[in-house]
Amino acid sequence: MTTRSLFWFRRDLRLADNPALLDALSAADETLLLFIMDNDVAERAGPYRRAYLSDSLARLDESVGGKLAVVSGSHAQVLRDLSQRYGITSIHAAREFAPYGVAAEREIAAAGIAVEYTGSSYAIAPGRVRKPDDTNYRVYTPFFRAWQNHGWRGPAAAPSNPQFVELEGSERNLPTWPTPAGVDIQEAGEKAALARWSAFKVEGLSEYDEQRNIPGVAGTSRLSPHLRWGEIHPRTLLAGLNQRTAHEIFRKEIAWREFYADVLHHNPHTSRDYYAPAFAAMRYDQPGAKFQAWCDGMTGYPIVDAAMRQLREEGWMHNRARMVVASFLVKDLHIEWQHGAEHFMKYLIDNDVASNSHGWQWTAGCGTDASPYYRVFNPIEQGRRFDPDGNYIKRFVPELSHLSAPDIHTPWDVLDGHLHDYPQPIVNHALERLESLARLAEIKASKEPNPHQPA
């Protein structure tokens, strides 16, 4: 009698370097491949992420000969129904550590459904890198050292001659969400991820330390969407690195992703709430016309507007630009970081709740940043330093394409700077920086003991 296992794809939409899939294949004669679609989550994800996921699932389905089941419903109900209908003897999956994935695993366990979990989407699963006193790390640099010392396994082999279950028509519900008009989203899928990594190793990795902060050049790998959906595993990337400086910087970027996942694992409330709770008491402005100008890339600050327009046009934004626009929203417009994080979630095809929420909090100054000062990015100087020739700005802000450097970074100082109706700055950065620091001083003062107040 033919035995059947079930493999539940989650954030691992690939075949190679997938230990949980190998376990499923070795547990039975043939394996049912499943992706569970949560329609409520898909609706909230927005059209950009839906389009990317649709493409990724289609690519995965092609790689398994059209045998991927995509079924909508609650996790427990879908797993129970398919197990009964197909005579499944074991269920296999990789663990997830973000709040949504943890909740799904609890739901399944509460329903009495046994799942064998193997591995995760990280080189080292969150919670495993510990201090000598067995507590979790709160600062990146010591985490990175301990993470490296811990080490990780090499990439797992791709399955050899896998046997997949033939599906009934009712399970062939692959989504066909289209890419929004005028949007250029990068190709999804394991094949595209491996091709991008191979090309980057040859064309960009050796100069990554020098090029990664310049948004106007192709200096980054743009593998973040592939990592987000598990189309490539970080082990695969780490195995291709050596001890050169550029390689070490790239390794550190992978470690940042794992650090934020570890922080969220230990502090699940920080997906939406403050890591440093004192900052919840700061005075913030309510989102209004200025917030909308920020969303639309119409703030009057060229590097900020270029970045926000890139987000809408590509569903992706350069990491340096992410820090600049986050600082501008929180420090210049005095709007809480959660509003910016939610806006990013609508558009980013690489949206990862740990990296998004804690990246925002790092820039906002309420996260894991160990720096002894309150960082405020100057959007003019950031443009001059990291887009000196204005290539990035010209690409996404065509109203300024007639200007050359250095004028393009301060169009209000040039006679024809607003020739093509580019907006005037919506705020004065120098003044708002002082206002931001004043608001910081208020919450610091509120924490200090009053010498005139009896103990």
Delineate the domains of the chain, giving CATH numbers in brackets: 4-120 (3.40.50.620), 122-153+191-266 (1.25.40.80), 277-447 (1.10.579.10)
**What residues have CB less than 8 Å from 102, skipping those under 6 apart?**
96, 268
Distance of CA 52 to the CA centre of its chain: 14
The single-letter DSSP state of residue 448 is S
Q: What are phi and psi of 228, to 5 degrees?
A: -60, -40
Q: How many CB atoms lie within 10 A of CB 214?
A: 19
What's the CA gap between 76 and 347, in Å, rounded?
29
Nearest to 13 by CA among 51, 68, 65, 50: 68
Angle at 276 between CA 271 and CA 281, to 5 degrees: 100
Whole-angstrom distance, CA of residue 385 vs CA of residue 377: 12
Lookup: tokens for 324: 């600049």
Residue 452 is classified by DSSP as T
pTM across the whole model: 0.95
Please name the amino acid found at residue 406: P
pLDDT one digit per residue (tens) for the chain, 455 residues:
899 999 999 999 999 999 999 999 999 999 999 999 999 999 889 999 999 999 999 999 999 999 999 999 999 999 999 999 999 999 999 999 999 999 999 999 999 999 999 999 999 999 999 999 999 999 999 999 999 999 999 999 999 999 999 998 778 899 999 999 999 999 999 999 999 999 999 999 999 999 999 999 999 999 999 999 999 999 999 999 999 999 999 999 999 999 999 999 999 999 999 999 999 999 999 999 999 999 999 999 999 999 999 999 999 999 999 999 999 999 999 999 999 999 999 999 999 999 999 999 999 999 997 665 578 999 999 999 999 999 999 999 999 999 999 999 999 999 999 999 999 999 999 999 999 999 999 998 987 554 444 44
pLDDT at position 373 is 55
Q: Which amino acid is at 454?
A: P
Pull the structure tokens for residue 61.
């389905």
Residue 455: per-residue pLDDT: 40
Residue-level pLDDT at 211: 97
Considering only CA atoms, give the Rg of the chain. 24
Q: What end-to-end distance do the CA atoms of the chain give, in Å? A: 78
pLDDT, residue 452, reads 44
Residue 48, SS3? Answer: helix
Token digits of residue 360: 């925002």
- Nearest-angstrom CA–CA distance, 409 and 273: 35
What integer pLDDT is reported at residue 404 of this predicted model?
96
Phi, psi for residue 362 in degrees, rounded to 5: -60, -45
The confidence score (pLDDT) of residue 268 equals: 97
325: which residues sit within 8 A by CB, 6+ positions away?
294, 304, 307, 308, 317, 340
Contact (CB, 8 A) for 32 and 86: yes
